[in-house]
Structures are given as structure tokens and as C-alpha cells.
Amino acid sequence: MCRARGAAGMCATAQAALCKATAGHRQLVLQLGGSADGPRLREERCRRSAEAVPHPAGLRQALLAGLRQGPASPEERRELERLWVLFLSALELFLQDLRRAHHLCQLFSMQGGGTAPLRTGLGGWGPPGHKGSRRGGGPTQPPAARCLEEEIEQVRATLAEMESRANIPLWTVEATQPVGTGGTAAPAAGVGEERTGQCWHPPCLLRHQGAGDRALLTVPPHPGPGR
């Protein structure tokens, strides 16, 4: 998903990557304490999290720079603000999941005998035939917990910094995506979204916020986000 130019373009790419990493990470956290839980799952979680973590720093720099130096056009500015909000949202979700992971890892500690995970219907994580070993041993402070605590702190600090550095009122950002993509009722449906088939399109999409009366489905000034 690249924009035609500049800071916004780079940011959008990074944003997409962050989103993907967050989603993958969440799916793993979901399984903590369940039948798929094990050292391998936790390693994988750590790996995904590590993938996600650099993005915030880079994105943050780019967005801040873009917003500070006065972007080329008001559209670019709006786009940067939009990305800013998306970035913030992704970080919040990511942080939320990190905290949950931390809690669950402690609740279902791998140490010693450990607590038997719940039989949730999922298969073990890892190559087929390998059942995650639960026997512990190893260092007193498991690396996973340390890893998590550091990550949490890092993301939290990033979020706090972002919120204090840029003063963007969230409500002024409008979504470019319609509620249901490829809806039949929308006349200006050339938003360029990926159509995933017949999706339900609720009748009321117009926002009534004060930021002008742009309808939700107007075509953005730039060509729609492509790949």
C-alpha cells in the first residue's frame, strides 16, 4: 500500500507492516494458556513481537518529521494525520496484547512443573509431531518474561512520547475506507479499496463531525491506495 509520494508513502508501508505483525502477534497471544501453548509458541510470539517493535520507532520519526516540517499540501498533511492515528491505534492494540501476554505467561508459567494449560482444542505449535516440551529448568528469570517486560516498556514509552509530541485531535481524522467495501449503494465507490465480494453496506455512513461535510465515500484526491 504505497502512496505516490514522500513521507506519507513510506509511512503507509511501515504502517501496513506493523499491522501485519500485530495481527500475527495477537493470534499467538490468544493461544497462551491453551493447548497450543509451549516454549515454541512463546518463542514465536517473541519473534513476532520483535518484528513489530522496530516499526514504531521508524514510523514515529517519519511521521513526526513529516508533520513538523510542513508538508507539501493540505492533503498530504491530512494523510499524515490519518496515518498518525492509525499508527497510534496499532500501537495501542499491540501494547494491550503485550500486557495480556505478560499476564498469561505468568499465570501459565513454564517454570518447574508449570501449570497445565487448558485443553482448548488447538494443536500444539511447532513442526508436526513435536509436542511442546513443558519441562523447565533453565534460568530463574525466564527469557520470555524479560523480553516481554522490555517490549512493554519500549512500546509504552513510544506511545507516551507520541501522544505528547504531536497534538492531533483524533476526531478530525476521517476514515477513507467505507464500512462495507464494494458496496452497491455507493455512487462514488471508486475509493479503490480491494473488493472482497458482496459485503453488507449499512445505509448510514456519513459522519457528522465538524471537519467539513465530506461524505465518507468521496474519492480522495490521490489515486486510491494500491499495492
Partner 1 sequence: LLKSCLVVIYRPETEPIEALMMEMQNPDTGIKTQTQRVLITNIPHAVAGNDIFQWILQRLQITEEEALHLGDLFVKYGYIYPLLEPKNLTLKTDGSLYRFQTPYFWPAQSWPADDTDYAIYLAKKNIKRKGILEEYEKEHYNMLNQKINYKWDFVIMQAKEQYKAGKERKKADRYALDCQERAYWLVNRAPPGMLDVLEYGLNRVTDPNEKKVNQVRQGLLVKYSEQFLSNDPILSGCLPSNPWITDDPDFWDLNAKLVEVPTRMRVERWAFNFNELIRDPKGRQNFQLFLRKEFSGENLSFWEACEDLKYGDQSKVKEKAEEIYKLFLAPGARRWINIDGTTMGITVKGLQHPHRYVLDAAQTHIYMLMKKDSYGRYLKSPVYKEMLAKAVVPQETVKKRQGPPWGLLSSAQTKPLNPCEVKVTAAAAEQRASYLQVAAGTRLVALEEAGFFLKWVFPSQDEGCVVNLGRLNCSCFLKLSMRCQSQTGWCFFLCSSSTPQPSKQERGIMDFHTIVSSKAYFQVSGKNPPADLLRVWLVFP
Q: Using an 8 Å Cβ cutoff, are 65 and 7 in contact?
A: yes
Candidates 13, 111, 115, 154: give the one binding partner 1 (CB under 8 A).
115
Candidates 38, 39, 56, 117: give the one binding partner 1 (CB under 8 A).
117
Angle in degrees, 0-180, between the axes of helices 39-52 and 54-68, rounded to the nearest 10 = 20
- 10 Å CB burial of residue 202 (0-12, 13-18, 19+) is exposed
Cell reading at 74: 493540505
Q: How many residues touch partner 1 (CB under 8 A)?
A: 62
Other Cβ atoms less than 10 A from the Cβ of 184: the count is 9
Q: Using an 8 Å Cβ cutoff, are 155 and 88 in contact?
A: no
Residue nearer to partner 1 on the CB measure, 69 or 158: 158
Instruction: Report the site for partner 1 in 9-68 (rule: CB under 8 A).
Output: 15-16, 19-20, 22-24, 26-27, 29-36
Q: Using an 8 Å Cβ cutoff, are 80 and 70 in contact?
A: no
Binding mask 179-198 for partner 1 (x = CB under 8 A): xxx--------------xxx
Candidates 40, 77, 156, 207: give the one binding partner 1 (CB under 8 A).
207
Any contact of residue 215 with partner 1 (CB under 8 A)?
A: no
Residue nearer to partner 1 on the CB measure, 9 or 69: 9
Q: In the bound complex, what is the minimum distance in angstroms from residue 161's beta carbon to partner 1?
A: 19
Any contact of residue 220 with partner 1 (CB under 8 A)?
A: no
Q: Using an 8 Å Cβ cutoff, are 3 and 225 in contact?
A: yes
CA distance 120 to 138: 27
CA distance 18 to 8: 15
Any contact of residue 85 with partner 1 (CB under 8 A)?
A: yes
Any contact of residue 155 with partner 1 (CB under 8 A)?
A: no
Q: Which residues of this protein are in contact with partner 1, per CB under 8 A?
A: 15-16, 19-20, 22-24, 26-27, 29-36, 82, 85-86, 89-90, 92-93, 96, 99-100, 103-104, 106-108, 115-123, 170-177, 179-181, 196-200, 202, 204-205, 207, 209
